[in-house]
Structure 1
Amino acid sequence: MAMADVRAMGEPVRRWARTQKQEYTQGEARPLGADLGAMGVYLGLVGTAAAAIRATGRELPSRIPVGDAVLLTVGTFRLARRIAKDPVTAPVRAPFVRYQGTSGEAEVAEVVREHGGVKHAVGELLTCPFCMAQWVGTGFVLGYVTAPRATRLAALTMTMVAGSDVLQFVYDAIQNGALKGGERTAGA
């Protein structure tokens, strides 16, 4: 089959994609093709991991204990947020986003640098803790299947950090409340 024939076969798909992009985005620079590519990468990685797990003869757990599910869930929350919002992980996001300032305790606000295309899609993924949770959670589940003890330790670390975060906020609230209460008493 000649290359021209292959291109001709792909033209209806490209025409369909252009139409969808025009109708969906209504002129906004949205990275639909890059988002589709990210989904393909995700599916490819999960498929490859599943095939590798199957090739090793490992059995999937028939059930996951509630304690492990909670541990993995909280660990996923904390690690996804760490990747998406933490100043320390900014070097990973920097090629795709622009710093806008702070956005809460120990978090930064960033916006994508380029609109449309791969950098846009990657920038949105890396700055969205909800989006990152899908990838992190999948990593934890695959780790749980292949190396449950090590994965529990990694998730435990992130769960401990999340618990510490909560305690930091509680401590600050108590300090601020005590300070305000003390000022009222002194001024009464």
Structure 2
Amino acid sequence: MTSLQDKAAEVARAYAPHEHRPLGGYLAAMGSFGALAAGLTAATKLSGRPVPERPALADVALISIATHKLSRLIAKDAVTSPLRAPFTRYSEPAGAAELNEEVRDSGSSLKHGIGELITCPFCLAMWIATGLTGGLVLAPRLTRLAATALTATAVSDFLQMAYSVAKEKAE
């Protein structure tokens, strides 16, 4: 009888015979995300805090920009590369303080799946938005403060880029 891991590898080979797809790692990520959502739901119920019927538009904007910045910071920033290094390999610079990295082929579906998650700002955004949204219910003042810092940094990034473009045009 084959193990669950062998069965998962067999399904992955049948699904994508010419390319490694870490389906087991993806399942683990999906399970972890479900656990995060369930944990936030349980914490909210236990805290007795009310869940807003409709979030304020200002909170949606704040969380959206903060999510963008934090997902890029984790997935692409040069300074956070030590966090990604166990799962990735440096490829090349990718512009203003960002890096392109390749996911390591470690033979582990879980490590590969984590590598894909932490190098993809689009993939991380769902996790971050969920955490920040949960934070708005459980610790709204602290969450808004952290989101404000991330939002200010994102706006600053765009202003730095606009300044560079304007400077180049002036020269």
TM-score by length of 2: 0.92
Q: Deviation per CA, 1:17-43: give whole Å up to 9, x if none.
A: 455423321231110011101100110
Q: Which residue of 2 aligns with 1:29?
A: 20
Structure 1 unmatched ranges of 5 or more: 1-6, 180-188
Whether 2:35 is the aligned partner of 1:44: answer yes
Q: Which residue of 2 aligns with 1:132?
A: 124
- Where does 1:4-83 land on structure 2 (aligned, <5 Å)? 17=8, 20-83=11-74
Query: Quick check: which one's helix share is greater?
Result: 1
Structure 2 unmatched ranges of 5 or more: none
Q: Which residue of 1 aligns with 2:149?
A: 157
Number of residue pairs aligned between Structure 1 and Structure 2: 170
- Where does 1:75-154 land on structure 2 (aligned, <5 Å)? 75-114=66-105, 117-154=109-146
Could you say what secondary structure the match of 2:20 adopts?
A: coil
- Distance across 2 between alignment mates of 1:34 and 1:100: 23
Structure 1 runs of 4+ aligned residues shifted over 4 Å read: none
One-letter code aligned to 2:53: S
Structure number with larger C-alpha Rg: 1
Could you say what secondary structure the match of 1:161 adopts?
A: helix
Could you say what secondary structure the match of 1:29 adopts?
A: coil
- Distance across 2 between alignment mates of 1:63 and 1:19: 45
- Distance across 1 between alignment mates of 2:146 and 2:71: 13
Q: Which residue of 1 aligns with 2:160?
A: 168
- Distance across 1 between alignment mates of 2:39 and 2:110: 22
Change (3 A) 1:31 1:115: farther
Q: Deviation per CA, 1:37-74: give whole Å up to 9, x if none.
A: 11001101211221121022121111111111000000
- Distance across 2 between alignment mates of 1:41 and 1:135: 10
C-alpha RMSD of the superposition: 2.0
